[in-house]
């Protein structure tokens, strides 16, 4: 039955040994409405579906789907008891019990069930009891929390798969689609419970057909037992006695009934239409049989002292079938209730869609879910990792820019440091020769006593050295000059003292080496460098006339200027032809 469900009018059909009952309904926004209904004579040699199909064709009644209500004679019912179990395990346990009791290993069974929740206390919570999967009605008494689970009783309906296929093929030959395949006895029970017709603590619903009677026992509003027996006579008195005996026998076998407790009897009957406003409708078919059967049911209610139960359905206003007929029976109440329950999706038993155990979880789905979760976590981790990498790249770029800027600043500082070091080195190697010459000249004798023929000066590390070639008029001047220079903190060494006969003015000549310490740059006075810079400014100063004996300082300063003006040889000074 994997074909898509058809849409259109629905035929609800059932039968007994003599008659075929049918009801055609349409779906409207406000609910179901009856289009046609009736009771057909069932010929002994013809199947009930063939009789129904012939009548629908002859009356040109359009329908597309069929709800089939089978009697006990055509549908096997077995009462089974299962051990305490969860709701998800009930279907498998019931199927196993049915296969053990009536099943043949060579034949596959189609099984559906209805829990007899009135026979034993319910074992599930109220929320689970209201679900259609467990087969219990929404008004079942809730189980107190913490109560131990108890065994359950169920009415299991079954037939072989080959028989079910045969029924499906038979319905297909009529041009209808088998939408629901259920038990006739359980079909109206939900609708009756919705109308709260079961008011006593123990009730029995009686439905009389031609040749058989169906009994449904209720404990409060919960179904407790189902029973069907053959009617031995159609006379009211004999049928009344037989029903009373069967009811007493059934009650005596029920362990949940107190001794001496008798159920309230209810009879499901048809009601003749006494006016156009009572909500009933006209019918087609054997009307005389229906009227007689209704009168017979009302008489049976009086004989059994039972309460009659009536079910009706609205009529399609556009239907003209059966027009002109008055005071005829309404549609079969079982069919009416079955159509309503099917439309509300509360059909307790349906072999087309039987209740089956839940499909065990597919391990592939589990692993797929785990893989999907792992992939999701991996994707999130990758995203976070990439975000961190991008952030680190940005930080590295910023740090690199800072490093480049710091390197540029460091390079500039290093360049300045190198320049400073070169300047300091140049200043450290520089000797204030003018000052030393001034000191030296201040210790020399006057010009008529001595004459400096050659003067050279050089710096040797931290010591300044001045080499002199001096002419004097008297040898005693040599000793005096040495003493004067030593007093001025000079170190002097004289050598090569010789006499020159060709020079009458300065007949004696000698060479002297004068050494003095060079002060470190940080110990030098600032004014010395200022003075040196000022003295180095004039480049074109004329040397003094050697014939005029100037002051020693005046004579030494202009002579050293030309030597100090060359920074490439600032540590060496050479003077020639200087008279002191």
Mean pLDDT of 120-136: 45
pLDDT surpasses 50 at 310: yes
Q: Of the candidates 343, 349, 297, 453, which has an alpha carbon nearest to the alpha carbon of residue 76? A: 349
pLDDT surpasses 90 at 491: no
Compute φ and ψ for 155, nearest 5 degrees: -95, 110
pLDDT surpasses 90 at 254: no
Of the two residues 121 and 364, the one the predictor is more confident about is 364
Q: Which residues of 472-496 are buried (b: 16+ CB within 10 A; e: fewer)?
A: bbeeebbebbbebbeeeebebebee
Mean pLDDT of 453-471: 85
Mean pLDDT is highest, among 231-245, 351-365, 401-415, for 401-415
pLDDT tens digits for 316-365?
A: 766 554 443 333 457 889 999 999 999 888 888 999 999 888 777 778 88
Mean pLDDT of 80-87: 87
Q: What is the DSSP letter of 521?
A: G
Mean pLDDT of 507-531: 71
CB 574 within 8 A of CB 456: yes
Of the two residues 464 and 11, the one the predictor is more confident about is 11
pLDDT surpasses 90 at 395: yes
Write down the pLDDT at residue 317: 67
pLDDT tens digits for 475-486?
A: 888 888 888 888
CB 171 within 8 A of CB 321: no
Task: Please state which of the ranges 177-181, 310-314, 320-324, 435-439 shows the lowest mean pLDDT.
Answer: 320-324
Task: Please state which of the ranges 32-41, 259-268, 308-317 shows the lowest mean pLDDT.
Answer: 308-317
Write down the pLDDT at residue 5: 54
pLDDT surpasses 50 at 137: no
Write down the pLDDT at residue 525: 63
pLDDT surpasses 80 at 524: no
Mean pLDDT of 272-279: 33
Task: Please state which of the ranges 57-71, 122-136, 261-275 shows the lowest mean pLDDT.
Answer: 122-136
- Helices 476-487 and 433-443 cross at an angle (nearest 10°) of 130
Q: Residue 324 contacts by C-beta under 8 Å, 6 or more apart in sequence?
A: none
| pTM higher than the cut 0.85 | no
């Amino acid at each position: 039955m994997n074909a898509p469900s058809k849409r259109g009018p629905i035929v609800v059909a059932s039968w007994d040994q003599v008659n075929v009952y049918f009801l055609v309904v349409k779906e409207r926004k406000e609910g179901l409405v009856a289009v046609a209904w009736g009771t057909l004579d069932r010929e002994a040699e013809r199947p009930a579906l063939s009789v129904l199909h012939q009548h629908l064709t002859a009356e040109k009644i359009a329908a597309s789907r069929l709800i089939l209500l089978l009697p006990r004679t055509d549908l096997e019912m077995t009462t089974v008891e299962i051990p305490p179990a969860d709701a998800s395990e009930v279907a498998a346990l019931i199927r196993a019990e049915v296969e053990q009791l009536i099943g043949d290993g060579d034949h596959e069974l189609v099984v559906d069930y209805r829990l007899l929740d009135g026979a034993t206390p319910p074992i599930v919570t109220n929320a689970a009891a209201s679900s259609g999967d467990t087969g219990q009605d929404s008004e079942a008494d809730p189980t107190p929390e913490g109560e131990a689970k108890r065994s359950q009783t169920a009415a299991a309906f079954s037939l072989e798969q080959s028989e079910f296929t045969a029924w499906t093929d038979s319905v297909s030959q009529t041009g209808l689609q088998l939408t629901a395949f259920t038990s006739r006895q359980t079909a109206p029970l939900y609708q009756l419970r919705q109308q709260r017709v079961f008011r006593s603590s123990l009730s029995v619903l009686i439905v009389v057909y031609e040749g058989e009677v169906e009994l449904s026992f209720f404990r409060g509003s919960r179904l407790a037992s189902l029973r069907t027996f053959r009617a031995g006579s159609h006379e009211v008195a004999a049928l009344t006695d037989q029903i009373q005996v069967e009811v007493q026998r059934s009650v005596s076998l029920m362990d949940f009934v107190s001794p001496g407790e008798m159920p309230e009897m209810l009879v499901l009957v048809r009601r003749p239409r006494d006016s156009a406003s009572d909500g009933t409708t006209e019918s087609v078919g054997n009307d005389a049989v229906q009227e007689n059967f209704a009168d017979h049911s009302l008489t049976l209610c009086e004989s059994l002292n039972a309460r009659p139960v009536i079910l009706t359905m609205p009529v399609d206003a556009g239907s003209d079938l059966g027009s002109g007929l008055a005071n005829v029976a309404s549609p079969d109440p079982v069919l009416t209730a079955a159509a309503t329950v099917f439309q509300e999706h509360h059909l307790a038993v349906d072999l087309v869609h039987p209740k089956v155990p839940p499909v065990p979880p597919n391990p592939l789905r589990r692993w797929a879910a785990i893989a999907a979760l792992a992939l999701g976590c991996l994707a999130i981790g990758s995203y976070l990792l990439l975000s961190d990498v991008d952030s680190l790249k940005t930080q590295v770029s910023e740090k690199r820019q800072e490093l480049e800027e710091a390197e540029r600043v460091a390079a500039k500082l290093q360049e300045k440091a190198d320049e400073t070091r070169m300047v300091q080195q140049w200043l450290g190697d520089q000797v204030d020769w003018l000052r030393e010459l001034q000191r030296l000249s201040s210790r020399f004798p006057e010009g008529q006593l001595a004459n400096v023929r050659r003067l050279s000066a050089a710096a040797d590390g931290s010591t300044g050295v001045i080499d002199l070639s001096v002419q004097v008029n008297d040898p005693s001047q040599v000793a005096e000059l040495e003493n004067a220079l030593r007093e001025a903190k000079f170190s002097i060494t004289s050598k090569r003292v010789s006499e020159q006969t060709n020079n009458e003015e300065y007949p004696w000549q000698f060479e002297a080496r004068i050494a003095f310490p060079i002060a470190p740059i940080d110990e030098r006075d600032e004014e010395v460098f200022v003075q040196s810079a000022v003295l180095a400014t004039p480049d074109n100063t004329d040397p003094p006339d050697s014939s005029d004996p100037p002051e020693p300082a005046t004579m030494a300063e202009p002579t050293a200027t030309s030597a100090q003006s060359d920074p490439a040889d600032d540590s060496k000074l050479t003077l020639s032809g200087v008279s002191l």
